Amino acid sequence: MNVARPGAFLVLVALVAVAPLVVHYPVLLTQALIFGLLAAAFNLLLGELGFLSFGQATFNGLGAYAAGLLLVHVAHVPILVALLVAALCGAGGALVVGALSMQGAGVYAVMLTFAFNELAFYLAFQLRDLTGGDNGLRGVVRPEFIGISLAGENAYYYFVAAVFLVVFYALLRLIDSPFGHVLRAIRENEPRARAIGYDTRRFKVTAFTISGAVSGIAGAAYAMLYGFVPLEVVNFDTSTNIVIMGLLGGTGSPYGAIVGAAIFTLLSDRLSRLWAHWPLLLGILFCTVVLTLRGGVIEIVHRLRPSTPRRKAPLRSG
């Protein structure tokens, strides 16, 4: 069993490459990729570790504000530096939130991630001089990449696509790595994982930190997409949307996150043009999927291809 097996990943690369030829709306596609990163970061925690984080917007927000402030206040910041700073800020925030939240057991830990999200939101709201409060942080420039202008929306789409694919591939590797295997052991039975000698807390906080880093990168990409950091990047609605995308796609496979993010982004765009009360339709879809396909939309793939190895019961492989 190997989730990093090239086949599925190459299909994803091809889909990402041709998407702008099918959907002529690069900004929306870029947003789908950004949401894909957020959902993948969420699913790393829920799918692999079995930890429901209700505060993923905290790290998205940290990355967005960190990159935004850097690009507003400092001239000539290379784009990769902006992403790196965002990743580090997302990771740092997640390290603190993760270490403190995981002091709590079960549902309390979940509520703590939510509480920290609220805290982050009010900080962003109150620190107007820094973040612009509810007016948002304006004037975020989009740097070029090794001399290539990313001002065009297609160019920026392909840049974000490259970042997305690199990060997602790294997550696939991580899921298959010895570290990823320990996360699943913790998900299945944390006391037993401790009894066989794993410092489970360290693994959990590390996974949380990685999830924060990925979310931070997504936040930075979002800030540069719109040239502006709205307060929404850190609000609880965003955290909820990340949960919905994760569950919609399914946590049984890392690809589920991508499917969920794509459906969520494209559908909310279409539905919002049709009807003002579109979130209702999305809610109905979400409930239907969760009630009928417990493994999310990606479950359909597994049902159609019963030979597809499920990560839940990894097979022996040489």
Partner 1 sequence: MTPVGMLRTEKLCKSFGGTVAVDSVDLNVRAASLHAIIGPNGAGKTTLFNLLAGEMRPTSGGVFFEDREITRLDVRERSHLGIGRSFQRTNIFRALSAYENVRVAAQSRTQASFAMWEPATRLRDVAARAQAILDDAGLAALAVRTAGELAGGDQRLLEIAIALATAPKLLLLDEPSQGLSGEDALRLMARIRTLAERYTIVLIEHNMNLVMELSDEITVMNFGSILARGTPAEIRADPQVREAYLGSRG
Using an 8 Å Cβ cutoff, are 213 and 94 in contact? yes
Q: Rank residues 194 and 277 by Cβ distance to partner 1 and give the closer one.
A: 194
**Which residues between 181 and 210 bind partner 1 (CB under 8 A)?**
181-182, 184-185, 188-189, 191-199, 203, 206
How many chain residues are in contact with partner 1, going by CB under 8 A?
34
Q: How far is 298 from 302, CA to CA, in rounded Å?
A: 7
Q: Does 306 bind partner 1 (CB under 8 A)?
A: no
Using an 8 Å Cβ cutoff, are 200 and 193 in contact? yes
Smallest distance, Å, CB 168 to partner 1? Answer: 14
Stretch that binds partner 1, among 40-48, 52-60, 87-95, 168-176 (CB under 8 A): 168-176
**Which residues between 3 and 32 bind partner 1 (CB under 8 A)?**
4
The H or E element that residue 137 is part of is strand 137-138
Radius of gyration of the chain (CA): 19
- Residue among 61, 90, 132, 180 that touches partner 1 (CB under 8 A): 180
Q: Please provide the DSSP assignment of 37-66 as one string.
A: HHHHHHHIIIIII----S-THHHHHHHHHH
Q: Please provide the DSSP assignment of 140-170 as one string.
A: -----BTTB---SHHHHHHHHHHHHHHHHHH
- Residue among 75, 146, 304, 313 that touches partner 1 (CB under 8 A): 313
Smallest distance, Å, CB 197 to partner 1? Answer: 4
Q: Does 174 bind partner 1 (CB under 8 A)?
A: yes
Q: Residue 64: what residue type?
A: A
Query: Which residues of the chain form contacts with partner 1 (CB under 8 A)?
Result: 2, 4, 170, 173-174, 176-182, 184-185, 188-189, 191-199, 203, 206, 312-318
